[in-house]
């Protein structure tokens, strides 16, 4: 998705199925990233890797390589000094209220 501020969401975002615990997704503002790699280093599930591509400022940015593993813990966002990435939990679907 590239509108205004480029944001990359992990491909294959999985919504939790009944009986499974809630999963998450990662959102990345690639133009804000300065390529420090902290998010990749501190992700406990190995969801991220540094891309070979560059952003407009000439930095390599992280990309999602294992979206199905993301728990939405937001450790990537907690360690990011540039506030360029964050994880969010995808709530498990519940009973619909009519």
- pLDDT single digits (tens) 28-75: 999 999 999 999 999 999 999 999 999 999 999 999 999 999 999 999
CA distance between the termini of the chain: 32
Tell whether 31 is covered by a domain. yes
Q: Which of 27-36, 78-87, 89-98 has the lowest mean pLDDT?
A: 89-98
Tell whether 70 is covered by a domain. yes
Residue 97 burial (CB < 10 Å; 0-12/13-18/19+)? Answer: exposed
Number of domains in the chain: 1
Domain that holds residue 32: 7-12+19-90
Tell whether 79 is covered by a domain. yes
Contact in structure between 35 and 52 (CB atoms under 8 Å) = no
pTM over 0.85? The answer is: no
Tell whether 51 is covered by a domain. yes
Is the pLDDT assigned to residue 14 strictly greater than 80? no
Q: What is the CATH number of the domain that holds 39?
A: 3.30.70.20
Q: What are phi and psi of 43, to 5 degrees?
A: -70, 115
Structure tokens at 88: 């969010």
How far apart (Å, rounded) are the C-alpha atoms in residues 50 and 47? 11
Mean pLDDT of 80-84: 96
């Amino acid at each position: 998705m590239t509108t205004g501020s480029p944001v990359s969401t992990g491909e294959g975002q999985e919504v939790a199925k009944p009986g499974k615990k809630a999963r998450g997704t990662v959102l990345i503002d690639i133009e804000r990233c300065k390529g420090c790699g902290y998010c990749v280093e501190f992700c406990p599930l190995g969801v991220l890797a540094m891309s070979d591509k560059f952003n407009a400022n000439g930095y390599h940015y992280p990309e999602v390589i294992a979206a199905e593993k993301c728990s939405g813990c937001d450790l990537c966002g907690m360690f990011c000094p540039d506030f360029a990435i964050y994880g969010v939990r995808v709530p498990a679907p519940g009973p619909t209220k009519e």
